Chains A and B, each alone.
Chain A
Amino acid sequence: MGMSLQTLRVLEAFLENPTDQLSGADVQKASGLASGTLYPILLRLESAGWFVSRWEAINPSSAGRPRRRLYRLTPTGLARASEVFASFGRGVLA
Chain B
Amino acid sequence: MNCHDVLAALPAAALSDEALWWVEALVRRLIQHAARNAPPSLSQRLEEEWLADLAARHGQMARLRLAIGCCWATRAITREHVAANVPATTSATGNTIMTAYAQHDSSFVSRRTTAVALIVCLHGVLIYFLATGLVHRMAAVIPPLIQIPVTDDAPTRHPPPPPLQPNLAPTRLEVPEPDLTVEVPPDANTIRGPLIEQPPALPPKVLNRVLGGPGKGFPNTADYYPPAAIRMGDKGIASVRVCVDGNGRLSADPTIARSSGSARLDEGAVRLAKAGSGHYRATTEDGRPVSSCFPFLIRFDFRD
A residues with a Cβ closer than 8 A to B are: 1-4, 7, 23-25, 28, 34-40, 43-50, 56, 65-69, 76-77, 80
Using known A-B contacts A34-B69, A43-B77, determine if residue A49 contacts B105 with beta carbons closer than 8 Å.
Answer: no
Using known A-B contacts A36-B71, A36-B76, A49-B88, determine if residue A23 contacts B93 with beta carbons closer than 8 Å.
Answer: no
One digit per residue, 1 when the CB lies within 8 angstroms of any chain A CB and 0 when it does not, for chain B 237-249 equals 0000000000000
- B65 near A39 with CB under 8 A, answer no
How many B residues touch A, CB cutoff 8 Å? Answer: 40
Using known A-B contacts A25-B57, A34-B65, A76-B93, determine if residue A43 contacts B42 with beta carbons closer than 8 Å.
Answer: yes
Q: Which residues of B in the span 37-62 have a Cβ within 8 Å of any Cβ on A?
A: 42, 45-46, 48-53, 55-57
In the complex, what residues of B have CB within 8 A of residue A39's CB? 46, 49-50, 69-70, 73, 77
- B51 near A66 with CB under 8 A, answer yes
In the complex, what residues of A have CB within 8 A of residue B70's CB? 35-36, 39
* 14 A-B pairs with C-beta separation under 8 A: A3-B105, A25-B53, A37-B73, A39-B46, A39-B69, A44-B101, A47-B86, A48-B91, A48-B98, A49-B89, A65-B56, A66-B52, A69-B48, A76-B93
Chain B contact surface mostly: helix
In the complex, what residues of B have CB within 8 A of residue A36's CB? 68-73, 76
Chain A contact surface mostly: helix
- B94 near A40 with CB under 8 A, answer no
Q: Which residues of B in the span 59-102 have a Cβ within 8 Å of any Cβ on A?
A: 65-66, 68-73, 76-77, 80, 84, 86, 88-89, 91-95, 97-99, 101-102
Query: Looking at the complex, which one of A37, A47, A65 makes contact with B94 (CB distance below 8 Å)?
Result: A47
B residues with a Cβ closer than 8 A to A are: 42, 45-46, 48-53, 55-57, 65-66, 68-73, 76-77, 80, 84, 86, 88-89, 91-95, 97-99, 101-103, 105-106
Using known A-B contacts A36-B70, A44-B80, determine if residue A66 contacts B55 with beta carbons closer than 8 Å.
Answer: yes
Closest to B94 in A: A48
Using known A-B contacts A36-B71, A68-B52, A80-B93, determine if residue A47 contacts B88 with beta carbons closer than 8 Å.
Answer: yes
Closest to B79 in A: A40
CA distance A23 to B57 in the complex (A): 12
Query: Looking at the complex, which one of A4, A35, A77 makes contact with B65 (CB distance below 8 Å)?
Result: A35
Instruction: List 17 additional A-B contacts (Cβ < 8 Å) besides A39-B73, A44-B101.
Output: A1-B98, A2-B105, A3-B98, A23-B53, A34-B72, A35-B73, A37-B73, A39-B46, A43-B42, A43-B80, A48-B88, A49-B93, A49-B94, A49-B97, A56-B52, A69-B49, A80-B93
B100 to chain A minimum Cβ distance, whole angstroms, is 9
In the complex, what residues of B have CB within 8 A of residue A67's CB? 48, 52
CA distance A91 to B298 in the complex (A): 53
The residue among B52, B70, B76 with the most chain A CB atoms within 10 A of its own CB is: B52
Query: Looking at the complex, which one of A2, A46, A68 makes contact with B106 (CB distance below 8 Å)?
Result: A2
In the complex, what residues of A have CB within 8 A of residue B69's CB? 34-39
CA distance A4 to B236 in the complex (A): 46
The residue among A1, A23, A43, A77 with the most chain B CB atoms within 10 A of its own CB is: A43
In the complex, what residues of A have CB within 8 A of residue B42's CB? 43
- A1 near B102 with CB under 8 A, answer yes
In the complex, what residues of A have CB within 8 A of residue B53's CB? 23-25, 28, 35, 68
In the complex, what residues of A have CB within 8 A of residue B103's CB? 2
In the complex, what residues of B have CB within 8 A of residue A44's CB? 80, 97-98, 101
